[in-house]
């Protein structure tokens, strides 16, 4: 039975790949449907074989199956506030920025819908494509999925701009969510996950069976302006046939707290989930002047509702061992429903937090969940019958090595290093993960499996796995195709940019940003390695140089030196270098910077030298031009900027201050 299932899933995966990625179908729709039906029947009769949705994803991860669409204007997120004081500060910031007096600002207030954001593009008044937000710069092409929904217009009237992108939120009503969960074994945790899971389906046939809705609420790119105020924009969207949230209102700054309270009261009775209210400056000319800070507009804010709370029993305090040996406690709870999500685990932060709040297994505790954040334990409500101060382990629960805590640290660490299986596995998982080598198919479970099978003991072993392809193919759950896919995924990563390589090593405190700083400073792998080894000597020139790199500092220098002082690490590095091609600087193609692929114009006087700014932008994959046009993505304005800045405002382009540019270029 399991073999048959594997065969079916492999064939479905191959068909998906051929259809979506290669645009060259290898079977008829009818044959494809028959395969899927057989899987569905098999799983219905044998639920122990697995969860239908997850099993299918093994064959076809949605993210790679969708074509990518680059957003002409980035899709940003919103900053949050939680109190009237924070909101007042947000307004004060706007006034300061604009140099305004104390007169109240005017907003449009809209419920913040808990769904997923979507961008719909219309060309010559016809709907052409739809994209998810993705990473804000590039989203997934979900046009086929949107076309199964009847809740938005396919055409716009002739007076609409000839090209326009309209943004909004796809969501599932509470009613449709409950009905969906009732109708299938796969249970979604909440309407938002259900909406995302339903929309991001490679098989648009599945989306068609789910009831999804859409509220339109924002502008993207447009060939001409639609309205002078956001309110008028919303009315126009309504005229064009979009659903616009009926609770939206024009309010003045002084009315925000009352509006917030009234929506908070209405929340439970609304037919859909909301997690706050979004306040947007009504005047679009003001919005343009205010611009953006980092990844959020300066002219809008999400005022979120307070986190949701519940009480339950703390069953156990489990200790997990991380990549750097940190012993992290987590609370295992009697499952409890917190605002619609079944919670079974919560974070306990660290040893001191447990002691301070005096948590002990057996206690009844209060927990809270704020949006997507992992639930947290707040306090003991009733101590358990055998309540006593919790004894945090002094030895690693995995390898039994001593676990020590430096006096200035909150964290206790296993001293087992690379003799501790937990640390080895976590490091290998990190090595293969997204921001590091990004090897498709080498997720947590596979790394664990290969480690236990003795195929994978250290990072270089990852690149030796292809020589074990035949053996892997015979393993349970694997086959020739999946083993060949894994080989291909590994081979595709034999060449790696220096910053990713440094990050992949999993050295303490060397996250993506520090890895980039180091790569940029030392340029090549060989140069970095030579300098790091020299820096192991305290007081050496190399050590001083390392500690003085802007953003690195002495603590990080100590961690790096500790890594390079270990002969075992040097041996691993050399072995890896022999197996790989480590490329010198991030190139346009590998850059994950928000500036990658963007066209930028610098104007006015900057505090940094113009050639430096240009070189940095280009190194991150941007194109720097002299003149401002509709094709320009960002205009960076320095002091005394003149006609170029004016033109940028006229064209409604995204204007960045030098500080914002520095932030995006990670030069801060």
Residues with active-site annotation: 112
Range in contact with ligand IVH (rule: CB under 6 A) among 111-119, 226-234, 405-413, 459-467:
111-119
By CB under 6 A, tell whether 120 contacts ligand IVH.
Answer: no
Is 77 or 344 the residue whose CB approaches ligand IVH more closely?
Answer: 77
Is 7 or 249 the residue whose CB approaches ligand IVH more closely?
Answer: 249
By CB under 6 A, tell whether 78 contacts ligand IVH.
Answer: yes
Instruction: Fill in the per-residue mask, 130 to 149: x = in contact with ligand IVH (CB under 6 A), - = not in contact.
Output: ---x----------------
Residue 327 forms beta bridges with which residues? 321
Interface pick for ligand IVH out of 8, 9, 39, 113 (rule CB under 6 A): 113
Cβ count near 577 (within 10 Å)? 15
Angle at 79 between CA 588 and CA 378, to 5 degrees: 115
Select the residue whose beta carbon is closest to ligand IVH and give its number: 117
Residue with tokens 């595709």: 492
- Phi-psi category of residue 417: left, alpha or beta, with phi > 0 → left and psi -120 to 50 → alpha: left
**DSSP, res 436:** T
Whole-angstrom distance, CA of residue 178 vs CA of residue 171: 13
Is 340 or 417 the residue whose CB approaches ligand IVH more closely?
Answer: 340
Give whole-number Cα distances, 607 to 139, 292, 612, 628, 637, in Å.
Answer: 34, 20, 10, 21, 11
Interface pick for ligand IVH out of 76, 346, 403, 519 (rule CB under 6 A): 76
Instruction: Fill in the per-residue mask, 296 to 325: x = in contact with ligand IVH (CB under 6 A), - = not in contact.
Output: -x--x-x-----------------------
Count, residues near ligand IVH per rule CB under 6 A: 15
CA 91 to chain CA centroid, Å, is 28
Using only C-alpha atoms, the chain has a radius of gyration, in whole angstroms, of: 27
Alpha helices in 62-190 (DSSP H): 62-65, 84-98, 143-146, 174-183
By CB under 6 A, tell whether 252 contacts ligand IVH.
Answer: no
Smallest gap from residue 242 Cβ to ligand IVH (A): 13
What is the crossing angle of helices 525-534 and 512-522, to 10°? Answer: 100
Residue 218 forms beta bridges with which residues? 167
Give whole-number Cα distances, 477 to 190, 217, 445, in Å.
Answer: 31, 46, 12
CA 559 to chain CA centroid, Å, is 27
Q: What SS3 class is residue 70?
A: strand
Whole-angstrom distance, CA of residue 602 vs CA of residue 579: 41
Is 218 or 313 the residue whose CB approaches ligand IVH more closely?
Answer: 218
Interface pick for ligand IVH out of 117, 482, 591, 632 (rule CB under 6 A): 117
Instruction: Fill in the per-residue mask, 270 to 289: x = in contact with ligand IVH (CB under 6 A), - = not in contact.
Output: --------x-----------
Smallest gap from residue 73 Cβ to ligand IVH (A): 9
Is 215 or 522 the residue whose CB approaches ligand IVH more closely?
Answer: 215
Give whole-number Cα distances, 625 to 153, 213, 636, 654, in Å.
Answer: 38, 42, 11, 15
Smallest gap from residue 262 Cβ to ligand IVH (A): 16
By CB under 6 A, tell whether 77 contacts ligand IVH.
Answer: yes
Is 576 or 654 the residue whose CB approaches ligand IVH more closely?
Answer: 654
Instruction: Fill in the per-residue mask, 143 to 182: x = in contact with ligand IVH (CB under 6 A), - = not in contact.
Output: --------------------------x-------------
Smallest gap from residue 302 Cβ to ligand IVH (A): 5
Smallest gap from residue 142 Cβ to ligand IVH (A): 14
Is 113 or 399 the residue whose CB approaches ligand IVH more closely?
Answer: 113
Give whole-number Cα distances, 179 to 191, 275, 639, in Å.
Answer: 11, 22, 58
Tokens of 361: 């297994």
Range in contact with ligand IVH (rule: CB under 6 A) among 110-118, 137-145, 226-234, 487-495:
110-118
Instruction: Fill in the per-residue mask, 203 to 222: x = in contact with ligand IVH (CB under 6 A), - = not in contact.
Output: --------------xx----
Range in contact with ligand IVH (rule: CB under 6 A) among 139-147, 294-302, 463-471, 595-603:
294-302
Q: Where are the beta strands (DSSP E) in 284-409?
A: 292-293, 296-297, 300-304, 308-321, 327-338, 341-347, 364-369, 376-382, 403-404
Whole-angstrom distance, CA of residue 197 vs CA of residue 192: 8
Interface pick for ligand IVH out of 16, 59, 65, 110 (rule CB under 6 A): 110
Is 212 or 465 the residue whose CB approaches ligand IVH more closely?
Answer: 212
Is 131 or 302 the residue whose CB approaches ligand IVH more closely?
Answer: 302
Calculate the dihedral angle through the C-alpha atoms of 388, 389, 394, 398, rounding to the nearest 10 degrees. Answer: 60
Tokens of 364: 């009844």
Which 385-414 residues touch ligand IVH, going by CB under 6 A? none
Range in contact with ligand IVH (rule: CB under 6 A) among 75-83, 518-526, 541-549, 587-595:
75-83
Residue ranges binding ligand IVH (CB under 6 A) = 76-78, 110, 112-113, 117, 133, 169, 217-218, 278, 297, 300, 302
């Amino acid at each position: 039975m399991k073999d048959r299932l594997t065969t079916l899933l492999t064939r479905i995966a191959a068909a998906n790949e051929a259809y979506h990625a290669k645009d060259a179908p290898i079977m008829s729709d009818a044959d494809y449907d028959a395969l899927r039906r057989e899987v569905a029947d098999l799983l219905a009769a044998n639920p122990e074989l697995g969860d239908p949705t997850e099993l299918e994803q093994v064959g076809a991860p949605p993210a790679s199956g969708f074509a990518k669409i680059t957003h002409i204007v980035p899709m940003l997120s919103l900053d949050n506030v939680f109190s009237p004081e924070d909101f007042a500060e947000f307004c004060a910031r706007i006034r300061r920025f604009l140099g305004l007096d104390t007169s109240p600002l005017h907003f449009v207030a809209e419920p913040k819908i808990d769904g997923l954001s979507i961008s719909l593009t219309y060309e010559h008044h016809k709907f052409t494509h739809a994209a998810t937000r993705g990473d804000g710069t590039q989203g997934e092409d979900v046009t086929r999925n949107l076309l199964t929904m009847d809740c938005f217009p396919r055409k716009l009237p002739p007076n609409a701009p000839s090209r326009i992108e309209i943004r909004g939120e796809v969501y599932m009503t509470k009613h449709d969510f409950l009905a969906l969960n009732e109708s299938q074994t796969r249970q979604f945790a909440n309407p938002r996950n259900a909406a995302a899971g339903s929309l991001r389906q490679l098989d648009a046939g599945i989306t068609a069976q789910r009831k999804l809705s859409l509220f339109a609420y924002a502008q993207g790119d447009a060939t001409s302006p639609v309205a002078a105020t956001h309110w008028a924009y919303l009315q126009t969207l309504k005229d064009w046939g979009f659903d616009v949230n009926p609770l939206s209102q024009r309010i003045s700054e002084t009315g925000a707290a009352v509006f917030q309270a009234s929506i908070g009261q209405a929340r439970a009775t609304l037919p859909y989930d909301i997690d706050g209210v979004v306040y947007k400056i009504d005047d679009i000319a003001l919005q343009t002047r205010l611009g953006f800070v980092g990844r959020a507009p300066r002219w809008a804010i999400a005022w979120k509702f307070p986190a949701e709370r519940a009480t339950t029993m703390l069953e156990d305090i489990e200790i997990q061992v991380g990549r750097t040996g940190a012993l992290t406690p987590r609370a295992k709870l009697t499952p409890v429903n917190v605002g619609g999500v079944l919670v079974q685990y919560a974070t306990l932060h660290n040893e001191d937090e447990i002691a301070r709040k005096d948590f002990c297994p057996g206690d009844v505790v209060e927990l809270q969940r704020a949006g997507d954040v992992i639930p947290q334990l707040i306090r003991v409500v009733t101590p358990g019958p055998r309540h006593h101060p919790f004894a945090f382990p002094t030895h690693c629960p995995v390898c039994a090595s001593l676990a020590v805590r430096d006096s200035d640290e909150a964290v206790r660490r296993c001293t087992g290093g690379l003799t501790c299986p937990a640390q080895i596995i976590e490091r290998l998982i990190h090595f293969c993960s997204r921001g590091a080598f990004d090897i498709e198919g080498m997720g947590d479970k596979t790394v664990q499996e290969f480690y236990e099978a003795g195929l994978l003991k250290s990072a270089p072993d990852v690149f030796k796995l292809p020589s074990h392809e035949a053996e892997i193919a015979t393993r349970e759950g694997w086959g020739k195709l999946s083993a060949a896919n894994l080989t291909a995924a590994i081979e595709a990563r034999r060449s790696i940019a220096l910053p990713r390589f440094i990050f992949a090593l999993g050295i303490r405190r060397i996250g993506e940003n520090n890895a980039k700083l180091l790569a940029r400073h030392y340029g090549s792998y060989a140069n970095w390695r030579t300098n790091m080894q020299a820096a192991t000597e305290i007081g050496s020139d190399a050590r001083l140089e390392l500690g003085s790199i802007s953003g690195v500092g002495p603590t990080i220098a100590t961690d790096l030196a500790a890594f390079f002082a270990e002969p075992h690490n040097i041996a691993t590095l050399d072995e890896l270098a022999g197996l790989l091609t480590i490329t010198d600087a991030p190139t346009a193609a590998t850059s994950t910077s928000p500036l990658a692929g963007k066209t930028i114009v610098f104007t006015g006087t900057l505090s940094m030298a113009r050639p430096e700014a240009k070189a940095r932008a280009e190194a991150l994959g941007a194109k720097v031009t002299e003149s401002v046009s509709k094709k320009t993505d960002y205009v960076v304005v320095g002091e005394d900027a003149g006609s170029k800045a004016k033109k940028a405002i006229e064209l409604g382009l995204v204007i960045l201050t030098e500080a914002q540019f520095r932030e995006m270029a990670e030069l801060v």
